[in-house]
Amino acid sequence: MAVKQGKIFTVTSMKGGTGKTTTVLNLAGIFKRMGKKVLIIDMDFYGSAVAASLNLDGDRSIYNVVDDLTNNRFDYIDNYVLSYDDNIDVLAAPKDPRIATKIGSKYLGIILTKASMKYDILLVDTNYVIDENKLIILDHSDEIIYLMTNDPIDIKNMKSMISIYKDMDKKNYKIVLNEAIDCNRSYFNKYDIKNIMKDNVDYTIPSSFHMKSIDKLVLDGKIMTLDKTVQLKNKKAMKNFDLIAKALLREKKK
Ligand SMILES: Nc1ncnc2c1ncn2[C@@H]1O[C@H](COP(=O)(O)OP(=O)(O)O)[C@@H](O)[C@H]1O
Ligand SMILES: [Mg+2]
């Protein structure tokens, strides 16, 4: 079988609860609609949510990959993933945080590289902490999505992050403003945000995408962007997700 050169897209933020996990799942749905083979990797080791959101059972997780790599037992990434549907697989984070502490950062790059040979797209879910793990994940990513909300601390922290990126001459990031999370909070408009951050918000998840039924969808293990009713009622959000996905695919590999 030919070796693929899949792209690695990481969703992260400067603050908790900005909608990262939900966005990872929604983008997976969009890429599936484009016919891509997607692996979602849950690298939020202390707040794992992907497998639970998709009702995927099983004890296989990234820890097994790390353990087998350490002991020279690793064979194929296929043996460690959980299957959601024909297009979407998941490499889960361990359910037990005591096990998560055993995942050494030095293996994360190897896992990302090996997995990218088998899939068109890797979507990496992360937390908001900047630590050794995060730096390695970001370094291996073709594109990084910073998901932010309309929150003063979030905006200020993004400003610091952007200036660090500019110092390092890095341009492989997109800023996505999630208005579907805190939709009552609209003190700053997109232009205020641009003025404070000195950079553009590239895309918006509109407030119209705020969904009261999200808990029911999660309980049923459904992906919003693959749900017919959600698709019909949220044309604007669906269009924006499409734009984000197409923009990610267009960017050249590092
Ligand atoms: N479009 C939406 N409509 C309603 N609630 C949402 C939406 N997106 C996310 N949420 C809710 O916001 C909370 C945080 O989202 P989550 O994706 O878990 O964020 P993070 O991964 O950044 O912590 C969750 O309870 C989630 O169900
Ligand atoms: Mg999350």
Q: Can you tell me the distance from the alpha carbon of 122 to that of 142, in angstroms, rounded to the nearest whole number?
A: 10
For the cut 80, the answer to whether the pLDDT of residue 200 exceeds it is yes
The reply to whether 127 falls in a domain is yes
Alpha carbons 55 and 6: distance in angstroms, whole number: 26
Residues with CB under 6 A from ligand 1: 13, 16-22, 49, 180-181, 209-211, 214
Q: How far is the CA of 48 from the centre of ligand 2 (A)?
A: 7
For the segment 40-63, what is each residue's pLDDT rounded down to a tens digit?
Answer: 999 999 888 999 999 999 889 999
Q: Which two three-digit tokens encode residue 59?
A: 């004890």
Q: Residue 71 C-alpha to ligand 1 middle, in angstroms?
A: 38
pLDDT beyond 50 at 133: yes
Give me the pLDDT at residue 225, please: 98
- For residue 135, pLDDT over 50 is answered with yes
> Which numbered ligand comes closest to the C-alpha of 15?
1
Q: Which atom of ligand 1 is nearest to the CA of 25?
A: 17
Question: Hey, what long-range contacts does 162-168 have (CB within 8 A, 24 or more apart)?
Answer: 162/197, 162/198, 162/199, 163/198
pLDDT in tens, 62-120: 999 999 999 999 999 999 999 999 999 999 999 988 998 899 899 999 999 999 999 99
pLDDT at 254: 47
Would 145 be classed as within a structural domain?
Answer: yes
* CA–centroid distance, residue 2 to ligand 2 (Å): 33
- Domain membership of residue 182 (yes or no) is yes
Mean pLDDT across 164-178: 91
Provide the CATH number for the domain around residue 151: 3.40.50.300
Q: What is the DSSP string of 52-115?
A: HHTT---S--HHHHHHHHHTT----GGGT-EESSSSEEEEPPPSSHHHHTT--GGGHHHHHHHH
74 Cβ contact partners less than 8 Å away, ≥ 6 residues apart: 65, 68
pLDDT at 1: 53
Higher-confidence residue of 84 and 254: namely 84
Q: pTM here? A: 0.96
Mean pLDDT over each residue of the chain, to the nearest integer = 93
Closest ligand to C-alpha of residue 47 is 2
**Given this model, what pLDDT does residue 2 score?**
59
Query: Given this model, what pLDDT does residue 104 score?
Result: 87
Which atom of ligand 1 is the closest one to the Cα of 209?
Answer: 1
Share of the chain above pLDDT 90, in %: 80
Q: Which of 14, 43, 181, 224 to mutate to test the pocket of ligand 1 (most atoms within 8 A of CB)?
A: 181
Expressed in angstroms and rounded, the spacing between residue 207 Cα and the centre of ligand 2 is 19
What is the rounded CA–CA span in Å between residue 65 and residue 108?
10
Residue 182 CA: distances (Å) to CA of 28, 61, 156, 201, 219 = 23, 32, 17, 17, 21
pLDDT at 168 over 90: no
Establish if 54 belongs to a structural domain. Answer: yes
Ligand nearest to the CA of 50: 2
Report the separation in Å between the CA atom of 23 and the middle of ligand 1, taken as the mean of its atom positions: 8
> How many Cβ atoms are within 10 Å of 85's Cβ, its own excluded?
13
Q: Does residue 2 lie in a domain region?
A: no
The ligand 1 atom at the shortest distance from the C-alpha of residue 224 is 1
* pLDDT tens, position by position, 5-39: 899 999 999 999 999 999 999 999 999 999 999 99
> Number of structural domains, the chain?
1
Q: How confident is the model at residue 252 (pLDDT cuts 50, 70, 90)?
A: low
**What is the span of the domain harbouring residue 39?**
7-250
Q: Compute the average pLDDT of residues 115-130.
A: 96
> Which residue's CA is minimally distant from atom 8 of ligand 1?
19
CA distance linking residue 24 with residue 138, whole number of Å: 15
The verdict on residue 146 lying in a domain is: yes
The answer as to whether 161 is a domain residue is: yes
Average pLDDT over residues 172-190: 87
pLDDT on residue 97: 86
